[in-house]
């Protein structure tokens, strides 16, 4: 155990977050996301039993979002005609606003297959048990700046 670090952040995940460099991306995927397929060229970390919001909150405590791009956070758009509940996005906005003063202005949506293309290039994919649909989120790492 470490002081000040959420216990949800496993040693494997902390190592991956630390290894990532500026502009590398990580996907926190819902339970329906094809994590192994999309992450075949990435590091796939299983976090079964956890949902995306709790992981997102813990990750953003230690993970800087890219300050040099306008939208370092991407969500998968709902397929046209699909009526799946996307209220989880509001939770993401609240979590991001707590950790980043730029708040929800950092978030963009990507068409489903564009999101998959971005995910295929991710450094890592976190596979969760999140049951909400369209709950996938892609984060682009920034730099830790000198104070």
* Residues taking part in catalysis: 22
Do 76 and 109 touch, CB atoms closer than 8 A? yes
For the chain, which residues make up each domain, given as ranges? 19-140
Q: Please check the confidence at residue 62 and state whether its pLDDT lies above 80.
A: yes
Q: Is 109 helix (H, G, I), strand (E, B) or coil?
A: strand
Tokens matching residue 14: 């902390």
Distances (CA, A) of 48 to 14, 22, 28, 68, 82: 17, 27, 12, 33, 26
Q: What is the mean pLDDT of residues 32-39?
A: 97
Do 30 and 89 touch, CB atoms closer than 8 A? no
Residue 107: count other Cβ atoms within 10 Å of its Cβ.
17
What is the CATH number that goes with domain 19-140? 3.40.1650.10
Q: Please check the confidence at residue 147 and state whether its pLDDT lies above 90.
A: no
pLDDT digits (tens, 9 = 90+) for 94-141: 999 999 999 999 999 999 999 999 999 999 999 999 999 999 999 999
In the sheet with 25-29, reading across from the earlier edge strand, the strands are 43-47, 124-128, 25-29, 137-140, 73-76, 107-110
């Amino acid at each position: 155990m470490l002081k000040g670090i959420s216990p949800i952040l496993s040693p494997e995940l902390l190592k991956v977050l630390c290894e990532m460099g500026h502009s590398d991306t990580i996907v926190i995927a819902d339970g329906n996301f094809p994590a192994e397929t999309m992450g075949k060229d990435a590091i796939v970390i299983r976090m079964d039993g956890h949902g995306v919001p709790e992981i997102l909150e813990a990750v953003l405590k230690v993970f800087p979002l890219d300050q040099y791009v306008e939208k370092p956070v991407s969500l998968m758009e709902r397929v046209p005609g699909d009526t799946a509940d996307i209220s989880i996005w509001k939770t993401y906005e609240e979590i991001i606003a707590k950790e980043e003063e730029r708040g929800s202005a950092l978030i963009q949506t990507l068409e489903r297959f564009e999101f998959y293309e971005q995910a295929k290039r991710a450094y890592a994919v976190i596979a969760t048990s999140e049951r909400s649909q369209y709950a996938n989120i892609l984060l682009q790492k920034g730099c830790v700046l000198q104070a």
